[in-house]
Amino acid sequence: MKKLFAMLLALVMVLSFAACGNEPEGEATGSVYWLNFKPESDEVLKELAAKYTEETGVPVEILTAASGTYNETLTAEMDKSKAPTIFVVGNQAAVETWGDYCLDLTGTAIEAELNTDAYKLYDADGKLCSIGYCYECYGIIVNNALLNEAGYDVSDITNFESLKAIAEDITARSAELGFGAFTSNAMDASSSWRYTGHMINLEYYYEYVDDTAAWAEGTAAAPALTGKYMDNFKALYDLAVVNSIVDRKELANGGFDAQAEFAEGKAVFYVQGSWEAGGLEGKGMDLSNLSMIPYYCGVEGEEKAGLNCGTENYWAINGNASEEDIQATIDFMVWLVTDAEASEAAVGTFGVMPYKAAAVSTNPFLAQANAYLGDGCYNMAWITNFQPNVDAYRATAVAALNAYNADPSDANWATVVTAFIDGWAVQYQAVNG
């Protein structure tokens, strides 16, 4: 558990290392099957797989799970005779579920390439089940040009009070400005995780800060939540949906493309993460014109808040695969983080990769995360990684938020609080008995 918290508390630092080539030697044997967790990386990974196969003769298959379906897909694929050789075990709850399938990565060639011990997950017996392959950050992406057009600068936003005043002013003048404050905040599978997995982290993080020792000594699901900061979550969530370019009552219907809305200049603010850089650039946005600000929510001292930085992207190797496939998989992973061209492409889609020879990330949002840290701001660690029984937990929260969006009554908000706070304990019990 202490090792897990070393990961959660690690400050995100962009490290510069020289890339080098490292191609596997000998005759090609075995094959690689990667069940990919990140839909936005699918195209790049398939290109890298083809390149590796061309260079080595080793077959590499990439299957990408649809957004919000990874656990279901993994369960189905692991039941097949040809199961994934690389899969994601991204938090301690996943270690408890999939630990028996995981090869002990201690002493492997890919473990030796790590430049930090901060991103390692162990089971109760000390087996190294998975290792991080990238770390990221999330917050609120800002279109600086639109913000300037509205008469403000990103430096004007220093806390929740200033964010609220600016967002509400933009909403009030949206007809004359030609754009609104926030993009749509839909609750379909492709978007709901931004709130049930990311924004809610502010509640978890500040509870953790209040009692760090209890969390550090806690179980895989950590201590029971009190809901102390749910009013802060409500304040930020309401600000985003009330000042959205889409009526909150329509959010449950889905069908909205927040990325496209943002890229088309329809809104100033976009609740998202560093992984969006490539997608936004691909839609023609100038990344130098974008900023990312923290989840300001009205807590005391939040003027020193930074971004939410961490990872749930951890590689695990299927220990039940053949020796040939295991070795082929390790060779492929090493190539991915050491070959100059492959590493550059991987970093371009994943973000910072914590490996000695990995290419340097040019992601502006990660650079900004480091800038906040350099200014003495605190990193909001991903305590969300402790969510128990993730799919069931978030599904209940989504249903509650949908009901609240349709009718933002006190009673429906109480249901949201129950889903997040009591649901934590309920789902922990469901997993652990």
Q: What is the pLDDT of residues 352-376, one digit of tens each?
A: 999 999 999 999 999 999 999 999 9
pTM of the full structure = 0.83
Q: Can you say whether residue 411 is alpha, beta or left, with left for phi > 0 and alpha for psi between -120 and 50 degrees?
A: alpha
Confidence of residue 430 (pLDDT cuts 50, 70, 90): confident
**266-293 core/surface letters (b: 16 or more CB in 10 A; e: else):** bbbbbbbbbbbbbbbeeeebeeeebbbb
pLDDT single digits (tens) 313-338: 999 999 999 999 999 999 999 999 99
With a cut of 70, say whether residue 198 has pLDDT above it.
yes
Helix extents (H) in 306-418: 323-338, 340-350, 364-374, 390-406, 410-417
pLDDT at 329 (0 to 100): 98
Domains and CATH numbers, the chain: 17-135+311-359 (3.40.190.10), 137-309+372-432 (3.40.190.10)
pLDDT at 94 (0 to 100): 87
Q: What is the rounded distance in angstroms from the CA atom of residue 173 to the CA atom of residue 149?
A: 12
More confident residue, 102 or 433: 102
Confidence of residue 14 (pLDDT cuts 50, 70, 90): very low
pLDDT at 22 (0 to 100): 44
pLDDT at 217 (0 to 100): 55
Q: Which tokens in the block code for residue 359? A: 């290419």
Q: Is 108 helix (H, G, I), strand (E, B) or coil?
A: coil
* Mean predicted confidence (pLDDT) in 236-253: 93
Q: Is 87 helix (H, G, I), strand (E, B) or coil?
A: strand
Cβ proximity of 22 and 334 under 8 Å: yes
Confidence of residue 221 (pLDDT cuts 50, 70, 90): low
Strand partners, 316: 87
Amino acid identity, position 100:
D
pLDDT single digits (tens) 135-189: 899 999 999 999 999 999 999 999 999 999 999 999 999 999 999 999 999 888 8
Residue 91 is classified by DSSP as: S
